[in-house]
Amino acid sequence: MLRNTRRETLVALVLIAPFLAIYGLTFVYPTVAMVNLSFTDAPLIGPGQWVGFDNYTRLAGERRFDTAFWNTAYFVALSVIPGTFVAMVIALGVSRLTGRMQALVLALFFLPYILPVSVVYRLWDWTLNFQFGIAMYVFDIWGIERVPIFKTTTWFMPAVAFVTIWWTCGFSILLFLAGLRAIPAEIYEAASLDNTGRWTMFRRITWPLLWPVTALVTTIQLILQLKIFDQVYLFSTGGRPNDNLVLVYYIFQRAFVNNQGGRAAAIAVVLFLIVVIVSVLNFQLMRLAERRK
């Protein structure tokens, strides 16, 4: 293709200028500033003294950081694998349906994903309400003792994980459905001519062919759930936020409640590194898997 290099560079520059301005301002600069801030004792707004790695070393023995870190890990464990599993089972069920029926059922599963977190919070806060929640009537019927779910530390994380799975599952279901549709019908037809039973069909054909999507869904969920804040914050209002602390919540507390910008930035950098390492590891694993194929 004949190209006018100088003109093309000029056009490209015009096209990417707005993007560069926005990314410079909202992405590159804040990232650099965050790392910088984490080495100072600055308040949220205003200058501070350089303190080296102090903010980081202090994290090591801190009880609140410990809680936040392990709660986040606990929440990830409770939500990622179960969420992926539930989504896959539902997708397999939905994929059996056809036409309008499928569209309708899919919409029922997908609708929660579309809702803002505060709506999800209101719905489940009401459904699981200690006094009037419909779930408690069900507990009564089954003879289970009522529990103030979001006020009890043991119940809090599992319940938030449950609500999160309910909220975000639609997204994973959608990806699984796309993966299932990509499996050619001929493969199933060939397999049924080979007298393959239902379970063998799933184990030997669907599951292996669906594996790339499963890996994708798990990774997306993992990276997403490491950054949990909204649900935990909302459900712990009026409860015991210090026991339910997660990493982003802790950043928020240090920065916006305790007005300690530097110390908050150190936590942010730690989380930043965790997410980046997980992303990079996952990227490499995927590349490895691809090459093995």
Distance between CA 106 and CA 274 in Å, rounded? Answer: 34
Site for another protein in 41-80 (CB under 8 A): 44-45
Copy the structure tokens of residue 112.
């929660």
Residue 227 CA, chain-centre distance (Å), reads 6
- Least distance CB 176 / another protein (angstroms): 10
Across-strand partners of 40?
50
> Distance between CA atoms of 229 and 67, rounded to whole angstroms?
14
Nearest-approach distance from CB 30 to another protein, in angstroms: 4
The verdict on 15 binding another protein (CB under 8 A) reads yes
Burial of 224 (0-12, 13-18, 19+ CB in 10 A): middle
Stretch of residues binding another protein (CB under 8 A), selected from 32-40, 59-67, 75-83, 152-160: 32-40
Nearest approach in angstroms of CB 103 to another protein is 7
Contacting another protein (CB under 8 A), which of 81, 108, 144, 257? 108
| Minimum gap (Å) between residue 80 Cβ and another protein | 15
At 50 the three-state DSSP class reads strand
The residues in 156-215 that bind another protein, with binding defined as CB under 8 A, are 166, 171, 174-175, 178-179, 195, 198, 213
Task: Give the number of residues written for the chain.
Answer: 293
- Provide the minimum distance between the beta carbon of 109 and another protein in the complex, in angstroms, as a whole number: 6
According to CB under 8 A, which one of 50, 53, 70, 126 is a site residue for another protein? 126
For another protein, the closer CB: 39 or 171: 171
Among 227, 239, 241, 242, binds another protein (CB under 8 A): 227
Q: Which of 87, 90, 232, 245 binds another protein (CB under 8 A)?
A: 90
Which residues neighbour 204 within 8 Å (Cβ) at sequence distance 6 or greater? 191, 196
Please list, residue by residue across 59-80, b when 16 or more beta carbons sit within 10 angstroms of its beta carbon and e when fewer do. Answer: beeeeebebbbebbeebbebbb
- Please work out the total of residues on this chain that contact another protein, with binding judged by CB under 8 A: 93
Nearer to another protein, 60 or 193 (CB): 193
